[in-house]
Amino acid sequence: MKLDHSISLERVAQQLPRFWELSGQKIKSIESTFDTQKGAPVFTEKGIYVTRDWTEWTQGFQFGSAILQFDATGDDTFLEIGRKNTIEKMAPHLTHIGVHDHGFNNVSTYGNLLRLIREGKIQGTFWEEEFYKLALKVTGAVQATRWTKIPTGGFIYSFNGPHSLFVDTIRSCRALVVSHQLGHVLQGENDRRISLIERAIQHLLSTVRFSIFYGKGRDSYDVSGRTAHEIIFNTNDGNYRCPNSQQGYTGFSTWTRGLAWAICGLGETLEILDRLNPEDYQGVISKADLIQELTQAALATSEFYLANTPTDGIPYWDTGAPNLHLMGDYLHRPADPFNAFEPVDSSAACIAAQGLIRIGNSLKDHHTETAQRFIQAGIQLASVLFSEPYLSVDPNHQGLVLHSIYHQPNGWDFVPEQGKVAHGESSMWGDYHARELALLLHRMANQETYYSYLNCVES
């Protein structure tokens, strides 16, 4: 990625009114046409959101998008859409024991609504506030039950089963953190009290120690900052076995959305550590050592992202995708979503941009030059994503950010033209994270309260 310091926060802020106008149109279109009885909207086909049977992990992004839209614009129409649908439709996600995505579904809905009350942006009755708090307590505890012990701690296992650690689950740790900060605890057999913050920290450490590569020791054959989508463990003894991938090309290449999830999860964790009581997790690791490990991982993954994306910062779906070699020197020119060889994934850029900014903000005091580079990269990514050909300006297209990829190995993504790769479509996670990115930048530009998921909990 090539940094351009002429692209400033103030310049991107000028793009936001058009972004939010288009965003509102898309939300209303989905709300008026999508039948949630058939499932949750996942991605678009020919511009219309459809569902995809696999796991229910995107409905929180649908209703959470409306809440973010209200936050940015003050339009009560979107608050009503978000609040009504959260209350009526999100309860099954609170007790869903089959997924690792509680942080996605429920912090994006119940969490955002409670955050708006805490920030004074909406009025909530005592019982409405208690309702959101109870939901967040429950979802964190349910998420924490998907637990596999390993010699160095443990991890929240993916829907693949107890052997499987997904890199994207790093961002679902937010559910456990919120639940703990609200005073909740998981109780097991014989009323054993299980600390949610300890499990969250243990999962974070398992991710940075096994899912991220550093080019030394176990990883001496590999490249610093690379990530594997899935890590396989032997469930008999808890020992590490090998890297794997579900949505990437292989376990030995980097699925760029997985990389982006790591960057985003690390960024939002580093910036909240001062709000957590280190005594609550001192049985796992000290605060100083935790910061050291997370910072090492954040620096490695962020540098890898910048070194392995085209000049505009939009990545192809996997750094080892088999046909990239046919594209020549593709890293030294802007990404081409309309090429004939490998698709880009704009959703990875939406997720990574926010993470780069948050990592930069958290490292300002100790890594000043690097922090500024990361913040600049995130701002530039936003500028690209909020412009054509990525910003969806067609009123008949329900997606907000185009050229997102879901599952290239399974061939699930719509290919509109013969001889071209899948392109021109959107995803619910990409659109939601574009809105989170826009809200983060909006608040930074206007010097408003910094946007953090932990704002739903009193400091």
Tokens standing for residue 61: 């992004």
d(CA 233, CA 334) in angstroms, rounded, equals: 38
pLDDT digits (tens, 9 = 90+) for 262-301: 999 999 999 999 999 999 999 999 999 999 999 999 999 9
pLDDT digits (tens, 9 = 90+) for 372-381: 999 999 999 9
The predicted model gives 373-392 an average pLDDT of 98
Q: Is 119 exposed, middle or buried (0-12, 13-18, 19+ CB in 10 A)?
A: middle
Q: Please, what is the angle between helix 173-181 and helix 196-206, to 10°?
A: 150
- How large is the greatest C-alpha to C-alpha distance in the chain, in angstroms? 62
Question: Phi then psi for 259, rounded to 5 degrees?
Answer: -60, -45
Q: Is 327 helix (H, G, I), strand (E, B) or coil?
A: helix
Does residue 164 carry a pLDDT above 80? yes
d(CA 250, CA 222) in angstroms, rounded, equals: 14
Tokens standing for residue 247: 């949505």
The answer to whether 163 and 223 have CB atoms below 8 angstroms apart is no
Distance from the first to the final alpha carbon of the chain:
37
* Domains, in order of start, for the chain: 9-456 (1.50.10.10)
Report pLDDT for 459.
54
Task: Identify each DSSP E strand in 125-213 by its residue range.
Answer: 147-150, 153-156, 164-166, 186-187, 193-194
Report pLDDT for 458.
80
Return the bridge partners of 391, or none.
Answer: 401
The DSSP bridge pattern shows strands 230-233 and 240-244 to be antiparallel
Report pLDDT for 366.
86
Q: What percent of the chain has pLDDT over 70?
A: 100
Q: What percent of the chain has pLDDT over 90?
A: 96
